[in-house]
Amino acid sequence: MSIAIVSLGTEVVRGELVNTNSQWLAEAVSDDGFEVSELVSVADDHAQIIECLTRLAGRNDAIVCTGGLGPTTDDLTTEAVAAMLGEPLVLDEASLEHIRQRFRRAGRTMGPSNEKQARFPRGARILSNPEGTAPGFAVTIGQAEAFFMPGVPLEMRAMFEAHVRAALPRRGGESVVHQIRLNTFGQTESAVNDALAGIEAEHGVVLGYRAHFPEIQVKVLARGPDKAAAAARAARVADVVQQRLGPIVFSRGTTSLAGAVGELLEQRGLTLGVAESCTGGWVAQLLTENAGASAYFAGGVVSYANQVKHDVLGVPEELLAAHGAVSQPVAEAMARGAHRVLRAGVALAITGIAGPSGGSEEKPVGTVHIAVFDGTTLLHEKCLFPWDRKRVQLVSAFRGLSLVRQLISG
């Protein structure tokens, strides 16, 4: 059962926008157990559209297509499909009325160009658009069922859920897929790959790897005769994966590292305060992405200038003078200061050289000191990262959150 996903539009092939429709559709149909053969985008061009659809219809069971249903002269999808099928375009009165009403509700009158949005290839099944103007339609092209939807994401998703998702042809007897994603931080993609050698063959699953800097995400894809069987197998293998990888696994699904640390803090009734220099507020931003962060995040001090390390965090000037801002003593003093000033149960401090300038022979770019303090225990870590500024900042934030996780996990 093979599905091709098509995104029609010159603005897409010119790179004028990022195509989220194809990704959203691909994920949705993959989660439903279908196999996506390809994602393709072609321009608003009559001949190219016909050629593309013809090719795909010859090798897929279904084609899901977005774009080109608008009122302008650029919008050629419906015409091209009708020509391809050798069918005339027929006016659908119900669609015309729907369009007229949408304009009325917005206090406008329908224009002549909008009338074309109510014409469909004879024999097409019309798909109503609950969120917008243009209805979509479905036709059979050779052996494939083809569905045509608007390019506006909100409208497309609503139409997909209402009319297309359940209508995708199943041959029956297909197995159902269940996937579990494990998120890791701390090892390279190849080390993770090596650690999981043999699991696919032994357990009859597929493992997918995604490097999403600085995380490595491992996805376990299991098939089964039904959802429960597939889910049970996926869960079993996910546990095997987690056991092999150890503590570098910080969460499953869509929970971020900051979110996972937040859950641990909340479970223990602790609050976190951060003192950031080179990460410049990124740790705080990662923590506050999540709704409910106020349950475990007190706040932070972005002590970018040294005087702020001294004035707000109480780092002694002698320490700054003797060791420099990027040093173990200053990192530890920042952590103690944040713990006190923010009245946090746990404090995290990060000070380093993100680059590209600021490095020296003794302290090259990428040198980062991290300290965590909970009132009793003080942990410190010195890192040396070989990346550009933005990646040094992000991986330092991750290493800091990892050290917090380490401290509070005991």
Instruction: Please report how close the Cβ of residue 167 comes to a copy of itself at its closest, in angstroms.
Output: 19
Of all helices (H) and strands (E), which one includes residue 380?
strand 378-384
Burial 286-310 (b: 16+ CB within 10 A, else e): bbbebeebeebbbbbbbbeebeebb
Taken in order 257, 260, 264, 265, is the CA torsion positive or negative? Answer: positive
- Of 243 and 357, nearer to a copy of itself (C-beta) is 357
Burial 346-361 (b: 16+ CB within 10 A, else e): bbbbbbbbbbeeeeee
Q: What is the DSSP letter of 325?
A: S
- Of 122 and 210, nearer to a copy of itself (C-beta) is 210
Supply 261's token pair: 């640390």
Supply 325's token pair: 């801002």
- Of 126 and 341, nearer to a copy of itself (C-beta) is 341
Instruction: Please report how close the Cβ of residue 272 comes to a copy of itself at its closest, in angstroms.
Output: 10
- Asked if 249 and 242 count as a contact pair (C-beta separation under 8 A), the reply is yes
Residues 243 and 159: their CA atoms lie apart, in Å, by 42
Instruction: Please report how close the Cβ of residue 301 comes to a copy of itself at its closest, in angstroms.
Output: 6
- Of 278 and 408, nearer to a copy of itself (C-beta) is 278
Instruction: Please report how close the Cβ of residue 400 comes to a copy of itself at its closest, in angstroms.
Output: 13
Instruction: Please report how close the Cβ of residue 348 comes to a copy of itself at its closest, in angstroms.
Output: 12
Residues 159 and 231: their CA atoms lie apart, in Å, by 28
- Of 128 and 409, nearer to a copy of itself (C-beta) is 128
The helix-helix angle for 46-57 and 77-85 (nearest 10°) equals: 60
Instruction: Please report how close the Cβ of residue 172 comes to a copy of itself at its closest, in angstroms.
Output: 22
Instruction: Please report how close the Cβ of residue 142 comes to a copy of itself at its closest, in angstroms.
Output: 18
**Which ranges in 196-277 belong to alpha helices (H)?**
199-203, 227-245, 257-267
Residues 62 and 170: their CA atoms lie apart, in Å, by 10
Supply 32's token pair: 């439903």
Instruction: Please report how close the Cβ of residue 42 comes to a copy of itself at its closest, in angstroms.
Output: 5
- Of 140 and 193, nearer to a copy of itself (C-beta) is 193
- Of 303 and 327, nearer to a copy of itself (C-beta) is 303
Question: Which residues lie closer than 8 Å to 169 by C-beta, 6 or more apart?
Answer: 1, 61, 62, 145
Instruction: Please report how close the Cβ of residue 64 comes to a copy of itself at its closest, in angstroms.
Output: 12
209-214, long-range: CB within 8 Å, 24+ apart, which pairs? Answer: 213/391, 213/394, 213/395, 214/185, 214/391, 214/394, 214/395, 214/398
- Of 169 and 281, nearer to a copy of itself (C-beta) is 281
- Of 15 and 410, nearer to a copy of itself (C-beta) is 15
